[in-house]
Amino acid sequence: MGLFNRRTAENTAAAVAVLDVDPALAALTGDYVIDAAHSRIGFTVRHAMVTNVRGAFEDHEGTLHLDGADPARSTASIDVRIASVDTGIADRDAHLRSADFFDAEAFPLMTFRSTEAAFLGGDTYRITGDLTIKDVTRPLSVNLEFNGSATDPYGNQRVGFEGSADILRSDWGLTWNAALETGGVVVSDKVKLTFDISAIKQA
C-alpha cells in the first residue's frame, strides 16, 4: 500500500500536481528515530574477483522526518561509527579501520544528510543527499521501498524501509588495492550499500 496517491488538478496558471494522502496512513507524518537494534546498514564488495564479502556497521544512529502531504519535505540524517565495521573476520575489520581504507581514528564518522526526497510511485521513494566518508562529500541517491507501519508491543509506532545503492569507493578516496597474480585486483571498486531501517515515531 503506497503512502500517497497522485491526482491532477488545474488552476488558472497551469496544471499542478496535487497529492491525496491515504487517510489510513496520514498519521505517519512526523519525526522518527532510527532503531539501531532493528536496523542494518550494510555493504557488499567483490573480493579477489570471484566472491562477495558482506559486512555492516553495527553502531549507527539517525533521524527521519516523514511528510505524508508533501514527500519532498521529508528528510533523513544518519551518522555511522566507522570503528563498528564488522565483516566477521577481525583482521579484515582492522584493515578496514586502518589508514589504507577508512582511517577510523582520524575520521570516526560516516554521515548522510538528505537534500531532496521524491515519491516515485507505489511504495517506492528516492532520497538524495550528501554522503561524507573521510574528508570527501559527494551526492548519493537511494531508492527505498516502504515496508509498512505497525504499533509494536510497547506501543511504539514504527515504520520500515529498505533499499540499496551502488557506489564507487574511489569516488570517496578509498583506493587501496592489490593486484592478483591471475589478473584483476583483490577488492572491487564497486560497493553495494544496503539499508534496512526501522524507525520509531517520536511523541
Task: Give me the pLDDT at residue 23, please.
Answer: 52
Residue 69: band (very low, low, confident or very high) from pLDDT cuts 50, 70, 90: confident
Task: Give me the pLDDT at residue 51, please.
Answer: 95
8 Å CB contact between 118 and 71: yes
| Backbone torsions φ then ψ of 22, nearest 5 degrees | -65, 120
Residue 163: band (very low, low, confident or very high) from pLDDT cuts 50, 70, 90: very high
Task: Give me the pLDDT at residue 162, please.
Answer: 98
Question: Looking at residues 141-146, what average pLDDT do you find?
Answer: 96
Task: Give me the pLDDT at residue 18, please.
Answer: 38
pLDDT averaged over the chain? 89
Task: Give me the pLDDT at residue 122, please.
Answer: 86
Nearest to 161 by CA among 144, 181, 184: 144
Question: Looking at residues 86-107, what average pLDDT do you find?
Answer: 98
% of the chain residues with pLDDT over 90: 80
Residue 20: band (very low, low, confident or very high) from pLDDT cuts 50, 70, 90: low
User: How far, CA to CA in Å, does 1 sit from each of 22, 52, 89, 148, 194?
Assistant: 9, 33, 40, 8, 22
Residues in the chain: 203
Q: CB-hemisphere CA count at 13 Å for 191?
A: 20
Task: Give me the pLDDT at residue 2, please.
Answer: 46
Question: Looking at residues 168-176, what average pLDDT do you find?
Answer: 97
Question: Looking at residues 38-49, what average pLDDT do you find?
Answer: 97
User: How far, CA to CA in Å, does 3 sit from each of 35, 45, 48, 141?
Assistant: 21, 33, 42, 20
* Comparison of pLDDT for 68 and 47, the residue scoring more: 47
